[in-house]
Amino acid sequence: MQSFEETTAFLQEFENNFNPTKWEKSPIPIKILGYGEISTVLSFKNDKYNTQAYKRLPLFDSEKQASDYSKIYTEYNQLLENKNIAPPQSDAYWVKGHNGKYVAYLSQNRLDGDAIGNKIIHNHSDKEALLLFKLVLNKMTSLWQYNNENPKLLLGLDCQISNWAVKNYSKNTSITENTELLFIDTSTPFIRKNSIEQMNPLLFLQSAPKPMQWLLKKFFLQDVMDRYYDFRLVVIDLIANLYKEQQSDLIPKCLDLANQMGKELLNKGIEHKEIEKYYKEDKFIWQLFLGLRRADRFITTKILRKRYEFTLPGKIKR
Ligand SMILES: Nc1ncnc2c1ncn2[C@@H]1O[C@H](COP(=O)(O)OP(=O)(O)OP(=O)(O)O)[C@@H](O)[C@H]1O
Ligand SMILES: [Mg+2]
């Protein structure tokens, strides 16, 4: 196992020679494991570092901002674990980026791609897929019960199925009531202490084109943050995401299950039409956002001939 200093030095060397828009050409070869709305998850193709997944976040204007963020990340992982939502073993590093930026690399044990929830619901039977949803909903209901009992310390959660993984997964694993889950998407630490958001959500605006940032701040940012603390909206997001995963056949059964299991936390049951409406809006917003980021990348790299800090996904099937 490498020391913190050794890994930091390695990541610094990587970052020095990394062009986010031409990641295939990186002198230290990488594999992209996944794209998020904001970040990129990568792994290194060398023996020393290939057991970890790294999420690259080029969002920070100072070293302090990056180290503060890393602290909150670590705290969030710990708090979730205390609430029985276990992230993989994780660490946080930060290095000096280009043009005065600092870049955080949030690391986790790298999991088998087939262990991630969206793969599971494709590769296993509908019955097992529904069991996975049941396990996820179990985790969610107990977290929100905890939140209700402890309003001074609230934890939010982004519960999409691609954010969960099956622990100790191998080829012959089937999903049962006893399957243990890991929660992987901890890079946005949703912690509210006495109603105060612990991380600075403005940081995420960095990933948007400059002219859009004030608009997002004024009209969307608070809403987007609030969403992840609201049980009903998180359930809707989880289920609506089945459209994106091309598994909409599962929606009616998942919805029944959620309404049943979440009964005490939902004022009234969620209806199918809410899921559809939400998905249409969500799809529109994220496609627009990605389209604008691509345009921004084009202007930045091809016209202004400057460095663009983010690695964007190719075409996403929705
Ligand atoms: N530890 C890991 N091992 C293997 N694959 C991972 C790991 N962490 C993430 N991935 C892959 O990358 C994808 C995206 O990761 P994750 O959900 O953490 O971030 P995200 O959705 O990009 O977050 P955000 O939207 O906040 O930017 C996952 O769905 C998974 O396929
Ligand atoms: Mg995710």
Domain boundary among 84, 109, 134: 109
Note the pLDDT of residue 315.
Answer: 66
Ordered strands of the 153-155 beta sheet: 153-155, 191-193, 196-197
Note the pLDDT of residue 317.
Answer: 60
Note the pLDDT of residue 136.
Answer: 98
Cα(183) to centroid(ligand 2), Å? 10
Note the pLDDT of residue 316.
Answer: 62
Same domain, yes or no, for 149 and 249?
yes
Same domain, yes or no, for 138 and 67?
no
Same domain, yes or no, for 79 and 219?
no
The closest alpha carbon to 307, from 104, 100, 69, 95, belongs to 100
- Residue 131 included in any domain: yes
Same domain, yes or no, for 159 and 18?
no
Domain boundary among 61, 77, 109: 109
- Residue 120 included in any domain: no
Note the pLDDT of residue 314.
Answer: 78
Is residue 235 in contact with ligand 1, taking CB distance under 6 Å? no
Q: Which residue's alpha carbon is at the smallest distance from atom 20 of ligand 1? A: 36
- Stretches where the chain sits below pLDDT 70 are 315-318
Q: Which residue's alpha carbon is at the smallest distance from atom 31 of ligand 1? A: 34
- Residue 83 included in any domain: yes
Amino acid making up residue 203:
L
Ligand 1 pocket test target in 37, 41, 76, 237 with most atoms within 8 Å of CB: 41
Cα(6) to centroid(ligand 2), Å? 28
- Residue 318 included in any domain: no
Q: CB neighbours (10 Å) of residue 5?
A: 9
Q: State which residues form the domain around 180.
A: 125-199+207-303
Note the pLDDT of residue 97.
Answer: 97
Note the pLDDT of residue 220.
Answer: 87
